[in-house]
Structures are given as C-alpha cells and as structure tokens.
Structure 1
C-alpha cells in the first residue's frame, strides 16, 4: 500500500515544529512528509527589527531547513494558494510561477499571517511592512538612503520630509522597530556632518490608549518613558488618515512631512484560509481544541491562521498569534496527526503563556517572564537569552551571538546594499496578498489532478 501523504503548509514556528516532531516520531514507512514553503528557511520573526537596524545580518535570522539531521521531509518550493478539502488537494504556485495541485491524506495548515491593513487612502501604495526578511532588509536600505539624500539636498523642505519617520503600531513589533531604527539613525547621523541631528524625528503612532497593554501598566509606562527619553514622539489614540509619497496625515489633523511610513498595526490570517470555505473567527480558521478543522476531514490548522481555543483562560478566549503558542501548537498538531494515523485518541492543545520580552536596543528592555516585571539590563539579558535559546540551530545561535558582540564592540558601518534600489518596496510589493485563487480556479486545478493530467 502507498504511504499516506502528510502535507504541511508554512515554514514558520508552527509548521517547522510540526515537521520536526513528525520526522522524529514517524518511521519512513508510515508516511511521506511534504513541506510547502517559498523559501527553504524558517524566519525568526521576533529579531527582524534588529535586522532592519543592522545589529543582526539577514542570514542570522534565516534558519536553514536543509540542516535537518533526518532529511526526510521533501520541501516543495512554492506557496499554497488554494485548498479543495473535498478533493483533498492543495493548489501550489511554484517559485517559477507555475500552478500545480498536490494531493494529501493529512493537511497541516500553518500559513501564518500577513500585515493587517485598513481601507486608508494610499496605505498599501506608500507604507512599508516589517513581516518578511526582504521587508526588513529593504527598510534598512531605505532609511540610510533618506540620510544620504537629505545630506545631498539643498532643499530644506525635502530634507525635512526625508528626516521624519513614522511607525504605526504600538505593539511589540512597532515599538521594537521604532526603538531600534531610531538608534540606527542616531548613530548614523554622526557620519553626516552636514545634517543637524535635531532634524531627525521619529514618530510612533497607535490607535490604542496604551503602549503594549499586555505588559501591564508599569512596564508599558517604562517603555514609553524610554522612547520619549530618546526623542521619539509617541501619539496614542491616533492613526493614519491618509498616506502619500511625501507626507502622512493623521486622524487628529496633523500633517507630517514624511517619506518613510512603516506599518506594523497588527496581523491578519493568511488569505489562504478564505479558500477553504470553512467557518472563521475574526478571519482565523475555526478549529477544535485538538486543532482539527470542523467539516474538513484530515485537516489541522494552527498558528496565526487558526482560532485555537485558549483552554487556560477559558470563556471563549482564543490563543494570541505569538511564536510561543505557534511552536507549541506545532507539537500538538504533530502528535494528533500521528494519533490519527495509529488510531489513537487526539489531545487538546493547552499551554500557559510564559511571559513577554521586549528588546528596545542598547541597554534598554522591558520583560515579564513568568509574571516577573523587569527593566533595564536584567530585562535585556532575559530578552536576548530567550531569543538566543529559541533559535533552532547551533549555527544560528553562533551567528546571532557573534553579531551582538561585534555590534556592541565595533558599531555599524551604515552601509546600503542597494537592495531593490528602484523598487518602491511597499506592502503591495512584498506580501503577495492578491496571489490566491478563487473557488472556481481551485476546482479547475484539482480536477486536473483527479484526471491525472
């Protein structure tokens, strides 16, 4: 008999942890494991702000999938763009652009999330995201380019717009991005004698009334004080009304001359989940506590794309889209796929949050491990220690530790790579949210699979 096929979609924290457990627990004769991902690496997303600021190199946070000791999983280089649960088939757009259909016996959906946007005029055309390695690399080039162009310009208005930067989103990603990039420009401007450091202005904007409310009032206020001490203007209860190529209009009526708008205002589930036609909760796939999708035989969903019940909190709560939950859900999903294969009982996902860490660069950090509030160097040690230990490979750990040490001792050279120098590098360019298929297109491709074409 042919081995059953386990198809895992997504190489984030959830997908990679699931594959690792499947490889460890299943014998080669029990199942064939396929992993669909456009890139053969797992991105360590929490450290992206440090890539954008130049503290870490891009390669440091791209953990190779080909360093697996077992090499049992076949990597399918592409992105899933449609699912036909009745035909048990997944439509994949290969990195060449071709479409193909892959059948499965068990499907583990961990496609992650995309940057959440709103119907704001000019947003997707002019804002830049911080969700992918390419975006972080691009933003570093772009920010340094603004300093270069401002230094070369004799027009005072152009200088003002190039030296103002707006970050939207007062969560962890936005706060760390603003803090790390502000340190980048503060260090870099010393190399530009024609620029007045006082002209460089960073703005952090969020519609919420508090900064990082999950940290609690004391640590949230401590983080706010750090940002203000560095000269970052924080505007809460405010968002963007309109985004243009040279200015940003806020909902409180202010117009900021600005050519750099970085959008980190939350995430939304991958558009792939909409192709299943299954029930969703706030855009995330509804799943049972054991991570199975109701009405879709053999389908499991987890991570940012799934509304996983939080059994610890109860009262209908769902798990937040964090790396901590995604990784542990990956283990549960693997265990339940194996249990299904072997006719055993499935187990519900249950995990108590271990805490939060926020690295603001330099000696500044706020952390809340196991409910203990820390700030300053102790918080920094916990934050970096947590991230370092969470890196999956020893090679990545060595690279990250070396980068941290080198940056602390020698600083940055503020070099632009020229990455996509003439490409706008906006949300529209990088996140491919319009690449997914309609139900009719999915059926067309899965019909070809059934026909053996």
Structure 2
C-alpha cells in the first residue's frame, strides 16, 4: 500500500488534517492519503466524563472516522515501527493482519501521548484510566458494581471502602470526572435501599497547589470551593506513591482506604514518535517534537508533526509561545496542516507534469524523485496561527468555570456557556441533536444504572499489595490461587501456627479445606507482588499444571520451580 501522505493518529489533529485533505483532493484522495488510527472513531474527549457519569451515551461522543474523513483511506491498526529511511511503516491491524507494510512520501505524526500507569506501584493493576470511551464505560460499570456490592454488605468498614472513590489528578479530566462522579453517586444512591443513609466519598488528589492550573489560579480555586461545598474532599500538594486493592498511599505516609481509584495522570511520550526522533537525530523534549511554524520538522522535507506530540511555535499577541496540548489547538493545527499539505501535493503534481510531460503524467510514478530543501515551487505554506479563545471546565451540578477571550465566568452561566460551546463543536449535526436531547432528559429523569455486560474476569492477573494487608482470612471462600512473585506472605492457621511463604511460593489447594474455604489467614510482611489465578487457570493449577514440583514438606509449603 503506497500513499502520498500517511497521517498517523486519529485524534483531533490527525482527523481534521485528513478531513481537510480529503475535501481538497476529492475522490483521488482515497488513493493518495491514508489515516491510520487505533480505533475507527474520533472521540470527543471533553465529554468523556459525562459518559462515565451516565449523563451521556457512549455513541454521543464518538464519530466514525470513515464518515468524518471523506475521500481518505482509513486504516485501523497499531503502528509498530516507522522506518524513516525506507519511507514505510509496519502496521498491526489485528489478530490476522499483522506486519502490514505501508509506504508513504509524506508522514504526519499526530500520535499524541500514551498511558503509562506503571510509574506508581500498583496503579496499573488497580487504577482506572480515563482516555478512551472504553475507559469511561468500564469506569461507569465499576462504579455501579461497587454500589451493588455495598448494598449487600453489612460490615461498615467494607462498605466504607466500597463507597470511597479516589480521583488522581486535578487537571481538566480529573476535575470533570470527579464532578460527574459525585453527581452520579448522589443522584442514584436513593435507588439502593441500604445506601440511602450511607456516606459516599469522592476524594480528588492533586500533586500541585491549585486545581486547573491551565485555566488560572483564581478559577481553579473557585472550582475547589464549589467541589468542597458539594461534599467532595480535595487534597492538594498530595502525591500518590502506591496503590493496592484497598488503599491509596500518599507521600505524607497517610493513606485512603478505597477499592476504586481513577487515574487521570500518567501520560508518557509515544514510543513511535521517540523512535522516529532517534532515527533523524532530533530531541523530543518530554515527548514533544520541535517543528517549524509550518509544522514541519526542520531539515526533513517530508516529516510533519502536530497535536500533543508537537512543539508548535505560536504567536499570541506578539509573544512567541509553544501551543499547549489542548483540543482547540489540535483541531486548528490539523486544519491548517491539511491546507498546507494540499498546496504541497498540488505543487508536486505540477512539477511532475512539467518534468514528465502531459502525455506521460498518468504513468508517472507515485513517489517521483524530488529535490531536497523547502516546499516545491508554488507551494506557499502558512505558519500556524490561531486566536486563543479560552478554556472551560465543568465541576458538576450545573456549575462550571470558564475563561473566554480574557473574561472569566463561573457558576451557572459558565456551565450554560460550556454546554453551548461544546455542542457547537461536536463534529456532526446528528451528534449535536443527540447530545441536546440527552442533556434535556437529564433535567427531568434520573441517570441510568444499568450494567448490560458483566465485568470481564481476568483468569490471570498481577496484583500489588502493601505491607500488612490481608490477602484473605481463614474461613473465606477460596476463589483464587496465588503465586508470590516478589516479597513474602505469612500464613496463620487456626492453631496460630505460622509459616513464611517467600518469592516463588504457591498458595493453592493445600491451604484449602474440603468445604472450599481457606484454612489460614494470609498477610503480607512487606510490599508484595503476586500472580492471581482464577477460573480456568485456577482449575489448571489444581489438577493439570505440572510446573509445580512439590517438595517433602508439600503438605505445608511448596515453591514454584518453573
């Protein structure tokens, strides 16, 4: 597959770039331009929190890329690697279409960042990210399932953990997710007979001194006051150092007992972008590639970078700045680069016809040899320019904060402004109508607590447990087996006899009584990583797994030899 232009990334920047190019090239754009995206939809990120809070349906915040980007070949897949010297990339399209090679003449990198929760121990195992529609739907289901569990239990300590929800990160996504979550919980709690008098906690943890620092201290502090007035706990200057199944450990040494942790932080540079930078000997500061004002990498005639992974120079009222990684800038960059690339392609077509002759134009190669240097003659590229409009963030319960053209608003008017502007920015009329209808219903009807699909069961998963936490207690039903990967666990039976299980040990059926309950209590002695086996994996370990070699004291302790 060969294209004049390959756009890597289906977010705002990449999608709008493809849309403009497709419109400029017409029907021939399908064979000349490809948009590569991991998902076949454009996600309207600012409204993800409303999906998690059950205020909007998932289909309200997505638009099919094949409908949005007309006259462009949309390829769904994950880019494994870009070979810049050969002008081609390797695409993983799925289970049966791996290692598919795509060649290009011009490459547009619009890949943004990736989620990396591994910087905080345990966050990857227990934290719920908020980047995609799937993330929002999974979080919504998890929150409702916590309510269902809390409605069953009588133990107040267990119920308190089930009804405590911790949101990590005080930026736009964190504040809006926390606000929506609080609205949802307060509204639907009355549907649960045993929770009407129970305390529901939403804790927002932020490592800096003010919320929403992108929008300014004054409005960030106002957002904090509104959230706290509504009952949310806001903890500033607090950094999360560790997460377990039931605790969020803070840098101060204190912890919050909770079973649901939402992470809106943990962005990391895209490895594909970093690899391209390595190949062309360009340094990407914090994962953002420095580019010229026309959004092309200096010294690289055919490499363009836009969106969150680009450092695009931007003149704001006479002052040169770097465009911030926000949606409004990504949209404008995508549109303007699409116009620039259309000019480049027209100029290259003209040069090709002039060199090959009109009668040979149709047989000229798709990738003709081109001299280095600037754009072809006749291609006048426009530098990036944009009039900054401002920023908005909703804090729930029909209140928001906004900064528009230098004017600051808060309260109900800011909330109305937030909804009006974002409805206007939705990519299609159909989506605008659907969101308007859903928001109208939200005034009169309660939010939906339906969970259509049960949460998937991970038959094998890793867990991170802090010192002194109980894996299970004697008499509990044995629903999983454990392999100690790192750390140690003390087993205490009914006679108060103790045994130390170190790394490599297996906690399986030898510790289970005939009625299926654990014969001992398991408590970690230190920070411990374990492998949990459930369902089919548990049955395999019990009956068929031959990798466990029992020693002479197998009745009490055995190691996983491998």
Common topology (TM > 0.5) = yes
1:236 aligns with 2:236: yes
Cross-structure match for 2:150: 150
* Structure 1 residues 316 and 241, CA gap change in structure 2 (3 angstroms): farther
* Structure 1 residues 266 and 289, CA gap change in structure 2 (3 angstroms): farther
1:35 match: secondary structure? strand
The structure, 1 or 2, with the larger RCO (C-alpha pairs under 8 Å, 6+ apart) is: 1
Aligned equivalents of 2:101, 2:298: Cα separation in 1: 23
State the 1:84 CA deviation: 1.2
1:322 aligns with 2:321: no
1:356 aligns with 2:391: yes
Q: 2:313 aligns with which of 294, 302, 309?
A: 309
Larger Rg: 2
Cross-structure match for 2:404: 369
Aligned equivalents of 2:115, 2:419: Cα separation in 1: 25
State the 1:28 CA deviation: 4.0
Which segment is superposed worse, 119-128 or 255-264? 119-128
Contact 1:129 1:427 in 2 (8 A): no
Q: 2:296 aligns with which of 292, 296, 319?
A: 292
Aligned equivalents of 1:419, 1:273: Cα separation in 2: 36
More helix by share: 1
Contact 1:206 1:239 in 2 (8 A): yes
Cross-structure match for 1:163: 163
Which segment is superposed worse, 86-95 or 46-55? 86-95
* Structure 1 residues 134 and 314, CA gap change in structure 2 (3 angstroms): farther
Cross-structure match for 2:79: 80
Which segment is superposed worse, 187-196 or 138-147? 187-196
Contact 1:137 1:419 in 2 (8 A): no
Contact 2:2 2:103 in 1 (8 A): no
2:334 match: secondary structure? helix
TM-score, length basis structure 1: 0.88
2:214 match: secondary structure? helix
State the 1:360 CA deviation: 2.1
Contact 2:163 2:200 in 1 (8 A): yes
Cross-structure match for 1:93: 92
Contact 2:188 2:446 in 1 (8 A): no
Aligned equivalents of 2:271, 2:2: Cα separation in 1: 30
- RMSD (Å), alpha carbons: 2.3
Cross-structure match for 1:331: 335
* Structure 1 residues 419 and 396, CA gap change in structure 2 (3 angstroms): farther
State the 1:419 CA deviation: 5.1
Which segment is superposed worse, 232-241 or 31-40? 31-40
Cross-structure match for 2:102: 102
1:400 aligns with 2:404: no
1:120 aligns with 2:120: yes
Aligned equivalents of 2:388, 2:118: Cα separation in 1: 29
Aligned equivalents of 2:392, 2:213: Cα separation in 1: 13
Matches within 5 A, 1:403-442: 403-418=438-453, 420-423=455-458
Which segment is superposed worse, 330-339 or 300-309? 330-339
Aligned equivalents of 2:103, 2:454: Cα separation in 1: 37
Contact 2:26 2:71 in 1 (8 A): no
Contact 2:28 2:71 in 1 (8 A): no
Query: What per-residue deviation string (whole Å, max 9, x for no partner) do you get for residues 88-112 of structure 1?
Result: 1121110336121100011111112
Which segment is superposed worse, 81-90 or 110-119? 110-119
Aligned equivalents of 1:422, 1:297: Cα separation in 2: 49
Aligned equivalents of 1:332, 1:110: Cα separation in 2: 13
Query: What per-residue deviation string (whole Å, max 9, x for no partner) do you get for residues 138-176 of structure 1?
Result: 000001111111111133222121111110111111000
Cross-structure match for 1:190: 190
Query: What per-residue deviation string (whole Å, max 9, x for no partner) do you get for residues 302-341 of structure 1?
Result: 0011122233278774211100000000012112212322
Aligned equivalents of 1:40, 1:365: Cα separation in 2: 31
Aligned equivalents of 1:297, 1:80: Cα separation in 2: 22
State the 1:266 CA deviation: 6.0
Count of residue correspondences: 425
1:378 match: secondary structure? helix
1:373 match: secondary structure? strand
State the 1:283 CA deviation: 1.4
Aligned equivalents of 2:26, 2:71: Cα separation in 1: 10
Aligned equivalents of 1:165, 1:413: Cα separation in 2: 19
TM-score, length basis structure 2: 0.72
